[in-house]
Structure formats: C-alpha cells, structure tokens
Amino acid sequence: MFFANTLTYLARQSIYDREGNLFAYELLFRDSMSTEAVIQDDLFATMQVLENSQSDPDFLKTLGEHKVFVNCSREALLSEIPMKLDSKRFVLEILENVAADEAVLKVVRECHARGLEFALDDVVFTPEKIKEQEAFFPYVTYAKMDLILNSAEARAASVSFFKEKGIRVLAEKVETEKEYRDCLREGFNYFQGFFLAKPELIIGQKTEIEAFVETEGSV
C-alpha cells in the first residue's frame, strides 16, 4: 500500500470552456479537511492525487467523464506514474520549475506518443521564460496563463503566440468578472479561477490498491 490513512482527501477545481460548459477538473492535493494544501513532497502529493482519483469510486463519481488535470513535478515525471495513466483522461501539468532537459523530454515524448496530454503550468510570457520552455511546445496541448504573473499586454499576446503553435490557452486565477470578460475577448479557450469556481474538498475511502494500473475502458 502507498498510504495508510483510511480517509483520503482531494480538492477539485472546475475548468470551463468559452460557452461556459464544464470542460475538466484540476485535482489538488489535500492532506486533511483543510481547503489549503500543505505540500512538503511534490512526488508524494502527485502520487496521492493520482491514486485516489483512479482507485476510489467516490472520487470517480465526482469527476464524471471529464478530463483531469494534475500537477506534475520533475520527480513525478521521471517516476513510473506517467506511463501508467489513462491517456484518454489525464492531463499532466508540467510545473513551471521543470527544466526541459533530455531526461524529462524523453518521458514527455514517450507519453505524448501514446496519447497522454500535457499542459504548461503557470506560464509567464516573457522571452526568457518562453525560451526555457520552447522544447516542450511540440508535445503540449494546453498553456495555462497565470493572470497574476502576467501583464495584460503579455496575456493578450500569448493567445495568438500559442494558438499559432496549435496550443490551446487557459486563463488561470480568474478572480473577477472583468478578467473573465477580458480573457473571453482576447480569445482564451478555457477558464479557471475563484470567479468561476473555488476548489471543492472531496473526502473518500481508501481502497486496497497496490499501484496505478491503467485498464482498457477505464475512466
């Protein structure tokens, strides 16, 4: 067993498309009933989120048929986790501090070849940051633009930049109606933030499972 706790905790935050339809959930690590995460080990947090989301029927019911976004550190990418996920369901968010070195790119290429989707998390649209991440672009489906970390000008410029590369753009940390309307006008594909939905805590029951196993037809 990976974890001894009887109860398991996750938070989910909704992601919406341009028509206001629910598109996906981001699953967030929680170690208790608190709405805030206390993360001391990125790999542990990712493993717990993925185990709970695949093994606990209570969690699965809350996710429906929607895509599931999960943060993924360098350690998690280089672990056994990515190759054992349902490639039709999960989107791995490459954290902003993950370097595009050959070891990471090898995993990303292999997972991309089997259909797993990737997102760049907390994108900061500056020439320096974009250059650091450009090696990921051929394998990335989504770019998550942090509205707090980017100026209005950078945010607007990012939409056409990424769309030209076939990458869909998601506005995250949408806190006000004005920000939402501005991002709609600028052409963002998806939206996530407190204005639309706050993270919702989900409590489930630990099941007896030894590993993350992908099965045919699983959700």
The parent domain of residue 92 ranges over: 7-205
**201 domain-assigned:** yes
**64 domain-assigned:** yes
The per-residue pLDDT for 120 is 98
* Number of domains the chain contains: 1
The per-residue pLDDT for 214 is 35
The per-residue pLDDT for 168 is 98
The enclosing domain of 70 has a CATH number of 3.20.20.450
Supply 90's token pair: 């999960």
**196 domain-assigned:** yes
Q: What is the pLDDT of residues 128-183, one digit of tens each?
A: 999 999 999 999 999 999 999 999 999 999 999 999 999 999 999 999 999 999 99
